[in-house]
Amino acid sequence: MTQLYLYGMTRAGPLPAGLAERGIELVAADGRAAIVSSIESSPVTATRRNLLAHAEVVERLHERAIVLPARFGTVVADRDAALELLALPGVAALLDEHADRSELTLRGTYDESVLRAIAPAVAGLREGYRAAPTLEGGLALGEAVVEALAARRIRDTEEVLSALDPHVVGVRSGEPRGEYGAFNLSLLVTRDAVATIEDELELLARRLSPPLRFELVGPLPPYSFVELELGVPA
Amino acid sequence: MQQEASSGYITRAPRSNGLADVLEILLDRGLVIDAFVRVSLVGIELLTVDLRVVVASVDTYLRFAEAVNRLDLRAVDDSKSVPDLFEKGEEEGAEKKSKGAIEGGMDAIKEKVGLGGRGDDEDQERERSRSGRRGNDRG
C-alpha cells in the first residue's frame, strides 16, 4: 500500500522549482501544508541518499517559508493522516512561533597554530620530553596540551556566545568535530538577524583568528528547536 | 566589506553540505510525531550511539606531544605575529588532520549504518551485523 513520507510541515504555497518533478507534494489545509512524497514501503532506511534527499527538500522549501522539519524516517498512512497532523493545535502554534525563524550551525575549529599559543604553558614538560622522549613524558606533555586546549576552547566559546547572545533566540551546543574542534553550536535566529550575525563573526574572527576558524551553515529549518512531541488523540 | 583578513577564517554555506553535515545537523532532530498506528518512525536513534570521537586517548596525547615538540619556538613567541608563510604550512597540516579525523569517524558510521556508496539500499540490520569488518567497504 502506498504511504506518504513526511518531510515536515510548512505554510501552504507554491513548491520550489524541480521538487514537484521529483514527486514532492504539499497536502494543504487552512493555510498549512504537509510536505510529502509517496513511498511504496516503510520503514524508510537511513541511507545516504535518503538522508540527503530529506535535507534537500526541507532546506529548499525553507528558503521560501518556515518549515518545521519532521524527524527523518517519519511516514504517514495517507492524505487523511497528513491532514490530521496539520490540524493538531501544536503545529499551528509552532508555525506561528517560528514563522520568521531559522537555524544556523556555527562550528569553530582551531588550526594547528593554536599549539604555538599553548606551548609556553607546557614549556617545562616540553623541554623534558625533548631532552628524553619517553612514553611517560610524551603522555604527560600530550595530556597537558589537551587540557590547555580544552581551557582555551571554553574561553573562546564563551566569548563567541556572549558576542552573539543579543542576536539569537536560542542556542543548542553539540559535540565539536575532531581533536581541534572548538565548538559546534545550533543557533535559533530570526531571518533578519542572519546578516548581523555574519558581521559579528567578522569581528570575532579579528580577535580570535588565527587560530580559530569559523564555519557558518544556514539559514536552515529549525531542526534543533522543534522538540514538541505531537500525539494524535486516540 | 573591508575585513578581508578575517574573512579568510570564515567559511559560509547556505545549506547543509554532504553526509557528515546531514548526520550531525539533521539526524535525530526534528518533529517527533507520536501517532501510534497511523505513523511509523524508524528507530534510527540506535544508530547514532558510538559516533562520538573519543578525544582524550593515549593516541591523542602522543600526537599532541609530537605536534608541540615539532614547533620551533625560537622563530616567534607571539601567536598573533606569526609570519604568513609559516601560517600556510600549519594550515595545511591542520586541514589534513581534521580531514583524517572526519574520515575515520565516517568509516565507523558507514559500518554502523550501512551508508557506504555501494550499500545504499542494503538493509540496516544486515549492515550492522557486519560491523567489525573494516576497510573493504570504502567506495
Average pLDDT over residues A134-151: 94
**Do residue A95 and residue A162 come from a single domain?**
no
Q: Is residue A127 part of a domain?
A: no
- pLDDT tens, position by position, A25-35: 999 999 999 99
Cell of A31: 493555510
The answer to whether B69 contacts A229, with C-beta atoms less than 8 Å apart, is: no
**Do residue A109 and residue A207 come from a single domain?**
yes
Least confident piece of the model among A120-129, A151-160, B57-66, B115-124: B115-124
Spell out which residues of chain B touch residue A121, defining contact as CB-CB under 8 Å: none
**pLDDT given at position B84:** 35
Average pLDDT over residues A160-187: 95
**Do residue A73 and residue A94 come from a single domain?**
yes
Facing B90 at nearest CB: one of A111, A179, A181: A111
Spell out which residues of chain B touch residue A68, defining contact as CB-CB under 8 Å: 30-31
Q: How confident is the model at residue A228 (pLDDT cuts 50, 70, 90)?
A: low
Q: Is residue A231 part of a domain?
A: no
Q: Is residue A174 part of a domain?
A: yes
Domain boundary assignment for chain B: 17-123
Q: Which residue has the cell 544556523?
A: A104
- pLDDT tens, position by position, B85-108: 333 334 444 444 444 444 444 444
Least confident piece of the model among A42-46, A171-175, B38-42: B38-42
**pLDDT given at position B36:** 37
% of chain A at pLDDT higher than 70: 97
Spell out which residues of chain A touch residue B15, defining contact as CB-CB under 8 Å: 55-56, 59, 217-218, 220
Helix then strand count (H, E) for chain B reads 6, 3
**Do residue A55 and residue A163 come from a single domain?**
no
A52 CA: distance to closest CA in chain B (Å):
7
Q: Average per-residue pLDDT in chain B?
A: 54
Q: Which residue has the cell 569559523?
A: A214
Helix or strand holding residue A79 (H, E): helix A79-86
Distances (CA, A) of B8 to A114, A184, A209: 17, 19, 9
The answer to whether B42 contacts A219, with C-beta atoms less than 8 Å apart, is: no
Spell out which residues of chain B touch residue A202, defining contact as CB-CB under 8 Å: 1, 3, 6-7, 10
**Do residue A23 and residue A51 come from a single domain?**
yes
Chain B interface disruption, residue of A45, A66, A215, A230, most B CBs within 10 A: A45
Angle of helix A135-164 relative to helix A123-131, nearest 10 degrees, comes to 150
**A168, A188 Cβ separation under 8 angstroms:** yes
**Do residue A107 and residue A175 come from a single domain?**
yes
**pLDDT given at position B21:** 86
**Do residue A88 and residue A189 come from a single domain?**
no
Count the domains in chain A. 2
Helix or strand holding residue A80 (H, E): helix A79-86
**Do residue A107 and residue A215 come from a single domain?**
yes
Q: Is residue A133 part of a domain?
A: no
**Do residue A75 and residue A22 come from a single domain?**
yes
**pLDDT given at position B75:** 54
Task: Tally Cβ neighbours within 10 Å of residue B139.
Answer: 7
Q: If you compute the radius of gyration of chain A from its CA atoms, what whole number of angstroms results?
A: 23
**pLDDT given at position B114:** 37
Average pLDDT over residues A192-206: 96
Q: Is residue A138 part of a domain?
A: no
**pLDDT given at position A129:** 94
Cell of B130: 557486519
Distances (CA, A) of A157 to A11, A126, A182: 35, 27, 7
Least confident piece of the model among A50-64, A97-111, B94-108: B94-108
Environment class of residue A4 by beta-carbon count within 10 Å: exposed (0-12), middle (13-18) or buried (19+)? buried
In the three-class reduction of DSSP (H, G, I as helix; E, B as strand; rest coil), residue B97 is classed as helix
Least confident piece of the model among A63-67, A164-168, B88-92: B88-92
Beta bridge pairs of residue A8: A35, A69
Distances (CA, A) of A91 to A10, A19, A67, A182, B44: 9, 23, 11, 35, 23
Nearest alpha carbon to residue A110 among A214, A232, A222, A7: A214
**pLDDT given at position A155:** 97
* Structural domain that includes position A80: 3-99
**pLDDT given at position B38:** 43
Beta bridge pairs of residue A74: B41
Residue A182 maps to which CATH number?
3.30.70.100
**Do residue A50 and residue A107 come from a single domain?**
no
